[in-house]
A = this chain, B = another copy of it.
Amino acid sequence: MTPVQGARARARIEITAAIKDEARRQLAAEGAAKLSLRAVARELGMVSSALYRYFPSRDELLTALIIDAYDAVGAAAEQAHATALTAAPGDHLAHWTAACRAVRTWAVAHPHEYALIYGSPVPGYTAPEDTIGPASRVGLLLVGIARAAYQDKGIALLPLPDVLAPEARRLAEDMAPDLPPPLAVALVSAWAQLFGLVSFEVFGQFNNVVQARDTFFAAAAERLGRETGLLRTC
């Protein structure tokens, strides 16, 4: 808090940010598997051993990038949701699609960071527990939207097959004890399916298939929301 400490702390923050920026650049150029502390250091005009004052290992740098990415996509979704909340109060389906579109927009703008968190696992790297919280942000937001809709007007979902009932109960207890188990199952499905749509676009599976990506995604996301019970249509 003294001026000197403040300057030191500020420098540390700046250098940490510069390291992560350069690491993100390498992520884009070479992929997460080839991320190397040495190359980052070289590009920054530092010596590799100096980096260890900021990140104790390559894996910890990777973890920081992963957490940043989860936080960025989570914040984008949350902010879009907050905007939609005031722009169209009570329209739960609009809140849902706003969050979904924010996820897609962020992913298209940051394909390599998206690949880092929702693509193939990095060989030899296992995510520590620190990533669980940030990784849950989008999912928890979707749960929140569904909860608001449920408390507002209830939901009408298709009944689940009997074999899934225990898992549904367990899921609901884990993530949202106040919601009916079928809704919990529908939410987890929709969550995975949402990222299926985004991944297919970002990873190139839609090349030569889908052209009007924006409207296509918007329609699919709305459909997902409807099927999660946010609007009764039958």
| Min CB–CB distance A188 → chain B (angstroms) | 6
Q: Please classify how large the interface on chain A is, using the bins under 10, 10 to 19, 20 to 34, 35 or more.
A: 35 or more
| B34 with A123: CB separation less than 8 A | yes
Across the interface, which residues of B come within 8 angstroms of A122, CB to CB? 31
| A199 with B195: CB separation less than 8 A | yes
| B203 with A197: CB separation less than 8 A | no
Question: Does A196 sit at the interface, judged by CB under 8 A?
Answer: yes
Across the interface, which residues of B come within 8 angstroms of A223, CB to CB? 158, 189, 227
| Min CB–CB distance A225 → chain B (angstroms) | 12
| A211 with B167: CB separation less than 8 A | yes
Question: Does A54 sit at the interface, judged by CB under 8 A?
Answer: no
A200, closest chain B residue (CB): B192
| A211 with B170: CB separation less than 8 A | yes
Please measure, in the bound complex, the distance between the C-alpha atom of A120 and the C-alpha atom of B200, giving whole angstroms: 10
| Min CB–CB distance A29 → chain B (angstroms) | 7
| B205 with A118: CB separation less than 8 A | yes
How many copies of the polypeptide does the oligomer hold? Answer: 2
| A123 with B167: CB separation less than 8 A | no
Question: Does A1 sit at the interface, judged by CB under 8 A?
Answer: no
Please measure, in the bound complex, the distance between the C-alpha atom of A222 and the C-alpha atom of B158, giving whole angstroms: 12
| Min CB–CB distance A91 → chain B (angstroms) | 15
| B215 with A164: CB separation less than 8 A | yes
Across the interface, which residues of B come within 8 angstroms of A120, CB to CB? 31-32, 115-116, 119-120, 203
Most chain B CB within 10 A, of A30, A31, A160, A226, is at A31
| Min CB–CB distance A45 → chain B (angstroms) | 24
Question: Does A193 sit at the interface, judged by CB under 8 A?
Answer: yes
A135, closest chain B residue (CB): B205
24 A–B pairs (Cβ distance < 8 Å), ordered by A: A29-B123, A31-B33, A31-B123, A115-B119, A116-B120, A118-B205, A119-B119, A161-B218, A161-B219, A164-B212, A164-B215, A167-B212, A171-B209, A189-B216, A192-B196, A192-B200, A192-B206, A192-B220, A193-B196, A193-B220, A195-B196, A196-B197, A196-B199, A227-B227
Additional 14 contacts, C-beta under 8 A, given A167-B215, A189-B220 = A30-B124, A31-B120, A33-B33, A119-B203, A120-B203, A121-B203, A164-B219, A167-B210, A185-B216, A185-B219, A193-B197, A194-B196, A199-B199, A234-B234
